[in-house]
Amino acid sequence: MVARTVDLRSDTVTKPTETMRAAMATAEVDDDILGADPTAFRLESEVAKITGKEAGLFVSSGTMGNLISVLVHCDIRGSEVILGDNSHIHIYENGGISTIGGVHPRPVKNNEDGTMDIDSIEVAIRDPRGELVFPTTKLICLENSHANSGGRCLSAEYTDRVGELAKKHGLKLHIDGARIFNASVALGVPVQRLVQAADSVSVCLSKGLGAPVGSVIVGSKSFITKARRLRKTLGGGMRQVGFICAAAFVALKENVEKLDGDHKKAKELAEGLNQIKGLKVDIAAVETNIIYVDIVEGSKITAEKLYKNLEEQGVLVMPKGLSRMRIVLHHQISSSDVHYTLSCFQQAFSGMHQENGSYSISTSRDVSYS
């Protein structure tokens, strides 16, 4: 029997704290579709204030937040959105912007740090003189922190430059800020400043902040009016939604200050893993709470065996591709969990090096997400 579980698959795996449960139990609620739920309103107003935008809207998930935002900005048929080829919207959201919204994606290469070259973005903007054959560029999307790049942060200056480019061409800028608080804490820059250039932002409360459910999208009042209507269309109108907003409010108030600790633990774990012969971590890329770990070629270990061995010790990680795994820290991982995890990796490697004579890698496809 496993004595303990250290769940490092994602920061979405956290369980609601006692304070969150108490807040849910006592939340004042009303029918939010009638615009009457005070707890939902309080959360939406707070996130709008933190991000420096006029208004906010609670949505069920980051995916819904991004979908609604893209659809509000791309309100004419034949619209196109420029987005990173390694972005969450492009890869992990079921292509919803096309299948549901009829919006055409124009992927631009994501650099290793999660940025897209400004010149490449500009080249991807369609020339309106070619409208007979081209879709119409309406929107640019950024992601901060950038999950698939290992949680790396986009600076305010970079975001401003993309915002200026968007303005120059009459486009809108949306930020997938699923982990914008992680970026803010890591950079030491207020969230409001990081998203200053954006017309809309989707902020997840159920990732690093540890709420059980939900995201808030923010933007101008007119953006949120349109977003509210689309949310209803998508079946995302929830009646006494204040129950879950109450837990998310606690996450916002109590857990932002824990992110710095998560980042430090991520760095410590990354450095420890990088010391293990057979593993490789790009330490400099660990800017927030996400770590990518590679099993190096020539290592006498199979990814599958490693995951199985770790799982037997209660350590859960997310396989990403053939010989790569993702590890994500969150507020329910303690320093002792980090040390335990390191010892399990060390043990797994020493054990496997002895028992295993040849190198092989998992042939399973990457089906991980979140």
Contacts with ligand PLP, residue ranges (CB under 6 A): 12, 61-63, 88, 143, 147, 176, 178, 204, 206, 370
Q: Give min distance, CB of 337 to ligand PLP, in A.
A: 21
| C-beta nearest to ligand PLP: residue | 62
Q: Give min distance, CB of 162 to ligand PLP, in A.
A: 17
Of the two residues 32 and 176, which places its CB atom closer to ligand PLP in the complex? 176
Rounded CA separation 96/152 (Å): 25
Q: Give min distance, CB of 328 to ligand PLP, in A.
A: 9
Q: Give min distance, CB of 370 to ligand PLP, in A.
A: 4
Tokens representing 144?
């901060």
Give the start-end residues of each E strand in the chain: 6-7, 55-59, 79-84, 104-108, 136-143, 172-177, 200-204, 215-219, 279-280, 290-295, 315-316, 318-319, 324-328
Tokens representing 20?
């969150």
Q: Give min distance, CB of 178 to ligand PLP, in A.
A: 3
Rounded CA separation 41/192 (Å): 19
Of the two residues 12 and 302, which places its CB atom closer to ligand PLP in the complex? 12
Rounded CA separation 260/234 (Å): 36
Rounded CA separation 90/74 (Å): 16
Q: Give min distance, CB of 176 to ligand PLP, in A.
A: 5
Of the two residues 7 and 176, which places its CB atom closer to ligand PLP in the complex? 176
Q: Give min distance, CB of 352 to ligand PLP, in A.
A: 30
Of the two residues 166 and 290, which places its CB atom closer to ligand PLP in the complex? 290
Q: Sort 361 into a burial class: Cβ within 10 Å, 0-12 / 13-18 / 19+.
A: middle
Rounded CA separation 209/249 (Å): 10
Of the two residues 40 and 295, which places its CB atom closer to ligand PLP in the complex? 40
Using the structure block, give the residue that is written with the tokens 């991004």. Answer: 66
Using the structure block, give the residue that is written with the tokens 């919207």. Answer: 89
User: Which strand (E) or helix (H) includes residue 21?
Assistant: helix 18-26
Of the two residues 37 and 176, which places its CB atom closer to ligand PLP in the complex? 176
Of the two residues 249 and 340, which places its CB atom closer to ligand PLP in the complex? 249
